[in-house]
Chain A
Amino acid sequence: GENVEQHPSTLSVQEGDSAVIKCTYSDSASNYFPWYKQELGKGSQLIIDIRSNVGEKKDQRIAVTLNKTAKHFSLHITETQPEDSAVYFCAASVNDYKLSFGAGTTVTVRA
């Protein structure tokens, strides 16, 4: 099955700086790569996703890049704000409904 590794496990950044989270996956057939944000006491929420026919996608301060050859994808958050503090999960899927998640990255934005 699919194996997704996510790094780092924790990330502390100064407000206004950028944050980068990296994930690798094992199944070359995977073609859907969502990122979820989990705030304390809440369920995860999709923040951005990318499909294998696209190399990069951007939504305001959030961007995701995908390198299918190397089987890795990354989340970039620019101009971080305190409300960006949360746990972020990457995921990969062949059929876009059976998701395999990474272990999560706890992001702390220092004011």
Chain B
Amino acid sequence: DAGVIQSPRHEVTEMGQEVTLRCKPISGHDYLFWYRQTMMRGLELLIYFNNNVPIDDSGMPEDRFSAKMPNASFSTLKIQPSEPRDSAVYFCASRKDRGTYNEQFFGPGTRLTVL
């Protein structure tokens, strides 16, 4: 398996622009997570889906952030409009519910820079 795939790997944009981050989970996994990593706040959970349904979005910082999962093999995290404080590395992770063995598999991340 190719693992969790994220695109783009790097994104540089200007303040006010729309940014869309993409994630392809591991095939067969039923949970998908979006995280944000910054020096100040570490690794934070933004939102997670179970069977394509958003379960908990309490970590989404504000209405400028939105996430969708139209099918089991694709998810997007959108920021509109983007701000410099959104600069961070965004990770996607997926997991399969196997009862007691529940490892989350992380993608390589998207490094976002908002100028």
Contacts and interface: CB of A to CB of B under 8 A. Distances in A.
Interface residues of B, number: 22
B25 interface: no
Given A43-B4, A98-B48, A104 B42 contact: yes
B14 interface: no
B37 to A, nearest CB: 9
A101 B41 CA distance: 10
Given A89-B43, A96-B102, A97-B102, A41 B108 contact: yes
A52 interface: no
The B contact surface, by secondary structure, is strand
For chain A, which range describes its interface: under 10, 10 to 19, 20 to 34, or 35 or more residues?
A: 20 to 34
A42 interface: yes
Nearest to B100: A51
Contact of B104 (A41, A46, A100): A46
Contacts, number: 48
A43 B107 contact: yes
Contacts of A46: 103-104
Given A43-B93, A44-B91, A103 B42 contact: yes
B77 interface: no
A97 B107 contact: no
Interface string A67-111: 000000000000000000000010000001111111110000000
Nearest to B93: A43
Nearest to B31: A97
B7 to A, nearest CB: 13
From A41, A43, A100, name the one whose CB has the most chain B CB atoms within 10 angstroms. A43
Contacts of A34: 103-104
8 contacts: A34-B104, A36-B106, A43-B93, A43-B108, A51-B100, A97-B95, A101-B43, A103-B42
Interface of A: 32, 34, 36, 41-46, 49, 51, 89, 96-104
Interface of B: 4, 31, 33, 42-45, 48, 56, 91, 93, 95, 97, 100, 102-109
